[in-house]
């Protein structure tokens, strides 16, 4: 486990990982392993423990601990009870979110968009499962579902002219200085002390709806209405975080449009050029910004900046998501109408190699990005809660894209996991 927390230029730990993997594979191949060791080895070879989702590992550990001789029955029962109580909270949230999405999906009437309510909530749950973070969890899930709809519009349906109009409308927000008398003085002083800009919350231009093709007008209205609700749900300082999310949402739309332009022009970017854009269009900068919302004073100015700037941690998360998504799409043969060439195809074309060779090289880049994330964690121990949210976003990627598959889009693999996390209580 510890070796997978390595940073750059630690060849000894890389050798330790290789040696440990070799011996674990020999143990598994030799047979004769008994539970719980057999399951632990299989999981370790599939996904290193620091990159595994902790709530899933909790389920495994409770089962395995109960098999140990001399285990503490009372302690185990308390752990099961805590899990079941929190599971009830999450199931109630999931029902509420599913109803919200059912209403949205029925209203916007965009049949080409992925209908993934459970998967969107599950992604949010991976980032923050704690009981007191319900507002953060729900805002994250809702924005995630909205950005997926926007992505599908650019990729699957809109013409290039319609894509340009949609982006123009989304970029139509305005920013105005706040006169001091219009807001609470104490709150204003708090914002100034955090060195945040004194701007009025961005309001998307409702008149921009006239720019849009008819089938996207309801989606645009949905964006406006939901972001107004997000602003109303947080305190004054939290509204500045919503403002930052709006900015990132606008940027994401521009990234999607640039990819649509590449596809329309049949442009073949270099691998480096592709990674620079597709890391941002992965949506990870937006998702990192959302992790700061709904937590009041817990997020300091330094933590806010770490999560909302395009720094090494955010970009590392974006690259991991982009590469694992592209590998899954390449292996499945999935390609949407408006999709530009993937990073895998770019690497193949540029270096004249096979798909498997390209994937092997990209796998090594992914490992480097995990080292970058570990480095950030070591460099900012005072910001550990904020860093951990970013790490949770990185951990969410192999949760959905492990085994070269896209479990968000094709979610059969997730059915059993969803039942265990949200539906079926642990027997006590």
How many Å apart are CA 423 and CA 51, to the nearest integer? 25
- Say whether pLDDT at 220 is over 90: yes
pLDDT confidence of residue 258? 96
> What mean pLDDT value characterizes the chain?
89
| SS3 state of residue 199 | strand
Q: What is the pLDDT of residue 175?
A: 57
Would you state the pLDDT for residue 358?
Answer: 97
CATH at 93: 1.10.600.10
The pLDDT of residue 296? 66
Residue 202's pLDDT is what?
56
Report whether 141 contacts 284 (CB < 8 A): no
371 in a structural domain: yes
Q: What value does the mean pLDDT take over residues 85-95?
A: 97
Q: 312-332 and 343-351 are packed helices; what angle lies between their axes, rounded to 10 degrees?
A: 80
Q: What is the pLDDT of residue 115?
A: 94
CA distance 8 to 16: 15
DSSP of 43-85, one letter per residue?
HHHHS-GGGS-HHHHHHHHHHHHTTSTT--HHHHHHHHHHHHH
CB of 331 closer than 8 Å to CB of 404: yes
Q: What whole-number distance in Å separates Cα of residue 420 and Cα of residue 320?
A: 27
% of residues, the chain, pLDDT over 90:
74
What's the mean pLDDT in 399-414? 89
Residue range 220-248: mean pLDDT, rounded: 90
Q: What's the pLDDT score for residue 337? A: 57
**pLDDT > 80? residue 34:** yes
Tokens 């914002």 belong to residue? 191
Q: Distance between CA 45 and CA 59 in Å, rounded? A: 18
Instruction: For residue 326, give Cα distances in angstroms to 124, 313, 322.
Output: 21, 20, 6
**What is the predicted pLDDT for the residue at 332?**
86
351 belongs to a structural domain: yes
pLDDT tens digits along 377-393: 999 888 888 899 999 99
Per DSSP, the three-state class of 263 is helix
Over residues 348-369, the pLDDT tens digits come to: 999 999 999 999 999 999 999 9
| Secondary structure (DSSP) of 75-88 | HHHHHHHHHHHHHH
Structure tokens given for 58: 């909790």
* Domain presence at residue 314: yes
For the stretch 96-155, pLDDT in tens is 999 999 999 999 999 999 999 999 999 999 999 999 999 999 999 999 999 999 999 999
Q: Are 401 and 325 in contact (CB under 8 A)?
A: yes
Alpha carbon distance 143, 325 (integer Å) = 19
- What domain range includes position 90? 84-175+205-423
Cα–Cα dist 260/274, whole Å: 13
399-421 average pLDDT score: 90
Kindly state whether residue 428 falls inside one of the protein's structural domains: no
Q: pLDDT value at position 174?
A: 62
Q: Domain for residue 155, yes or no?
A: yes
Label residues 389-418 b or e (16+ Cβ within 10 Å = b): bbbbbbbbbbbbbbeebbbbbebeebeebb
Decide if pLDDT at 184 tops 60.
no
Q: Does a structural domain hold residue 213?
A: yes
pLDDT band at 297 (very low <50, low <70, confident <90, very high): low
pLDDT band at 76 (very low <50, low <70, confident <90, very high): very high
- Show the tokens assigned to 145: 């579902």
338: pLDDT strictly greater than 80: no
Give Cα separations from 111 to 147, 221, 241, 407 (angstroms).
15, 17, 32, 20
Domain assignment present for residue 306? The answer is yes
Report pLDDT digits (tens) over 244-285.
Answer: 999 999 999 999 999 999 999 999 999 999 999 999 999 999
Find out whether the peptide bond into 16 is cis, omega within 30 degrees of 0.
no
C-alpha–C-alpha distance, residues 398 and 427, integer Å: 28
Q: Which of 211, 208, 231, 212 is nearest to 110 (CA)?
A: 212
pLDDT of residue 328: 95
Kindly report, residue by residue over 146-181, the tens digit of the pLDDT. 999 999 999 989 999 999 999 999 998 765 544 333
Domain assignment of residue 196, yes or no: no
Q: Quote the CA–CA distance of 3 and 143 in Å, as a whole number.
A: 35
Q: Give the C-alpha separation, 361 to 347, whole Å.
A: 9
- Tell me, yes or no, if the pTM score tops 0.75: yes
The number of distinct structural domains making up the chain is 1
**DSSP-based three-state secondary structure for 177:** strand
Q: Which residue has the tokens 């620079």?
A: 276
Q: How far is CA 277 from CA 8, 102, 155, 234, in A?
A: 24, 32, 15, 32
Letter string b/e over residues 106-133, b meaning 16 or more CB atoms within 10 A of that residue's CB: eebebeebbebbbbbbbbbbbbbbeeeb
As a whole number of angstroms, the distance between CA 357 and CA 347 comes to: 9
């Amino acid at each position: 486990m510890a070796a997978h927390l390595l940073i750059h230029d630690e060849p000894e730990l890389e050798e330790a990982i290789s040696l440990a993997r070799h011996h674990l594979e020999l143990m598994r191949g030799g047979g004769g392993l008994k539970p719980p060791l057999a399951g632990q080895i299989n999981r370790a070879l599939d996904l290193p423990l620091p990159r595994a989702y902790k709530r899933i590992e909790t389920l495994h550990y409770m089962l395995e601990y109960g098999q140990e001789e001399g285990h503490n029955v009372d302690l185990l029962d308390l752990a099961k009870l805590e899990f079941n109580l929190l599971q009830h909270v999450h199931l109630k949230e999931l029902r509420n979110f599913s109803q919200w999405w059912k209403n949205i999906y029925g209203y916007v009437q965009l049949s080409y968009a992925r209908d993934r309510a459970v998967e969107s909530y599950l992604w949010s749950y991976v980032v923050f499962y704690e009981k007191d973070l319900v507002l953060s969890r729900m805002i994250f899930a809702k924005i995630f579902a909205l950005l997926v709809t926007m992505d599908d519009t650019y990729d699957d349906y809109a013409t290039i002219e319609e894509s340009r109009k949609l982006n123009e409308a989304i970029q139509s927000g305005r920013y105005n200085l706040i006169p001091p008398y219009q807001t609470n003085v104490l709150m204003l002083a708090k914002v100034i002390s955090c060195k945040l800009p004194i701007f009025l919350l961005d309001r998307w231009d409702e008149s921009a709806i006239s720019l849009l093709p008819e089938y996207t007008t309801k989606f645009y209205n949905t964006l406006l209405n939901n972001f107004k609700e997000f602003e109303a749900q947080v305190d004054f300082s939290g509204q500045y975080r919503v403002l930052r999310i709006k900015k990132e949402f606008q940027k994401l739309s521009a990234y999607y449009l640039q990819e649509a332009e590449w596809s329309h022009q049949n442009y073949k970017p270099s691998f480096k050029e592709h990674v620079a854009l597709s890391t941002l269009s992965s949506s990870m900068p937006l998702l990192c910004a959302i992790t700061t919302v709904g937590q009041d004073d817990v997020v300091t100015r330094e933590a806010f900046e770490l999560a909302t700037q395009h720094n090494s941690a955010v970009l590392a998360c974006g690259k991991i998501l982009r590469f694992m998504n592209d590998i899954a799409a390449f292996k499945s043969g999935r390609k949407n109408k408006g999709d530009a060439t993937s990073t895998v195809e770019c690497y193949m074309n540029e270096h004249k190699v096979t798909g498997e060779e390209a994937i092997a090289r990209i796998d090594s880049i992914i490992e480097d990005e995990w080292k970058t994330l570990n480095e950030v964690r070591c460099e900012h121990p005072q910001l550990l809660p904020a860093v951990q949210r970013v790490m949770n976003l990185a951990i969410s990627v192999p949760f959905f894209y492990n085994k070269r598959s896209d479990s968000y889009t094709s979610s059969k693999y997730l059915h059993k996991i969803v039942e265990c996390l949200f539906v079926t209580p642990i027997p006590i």
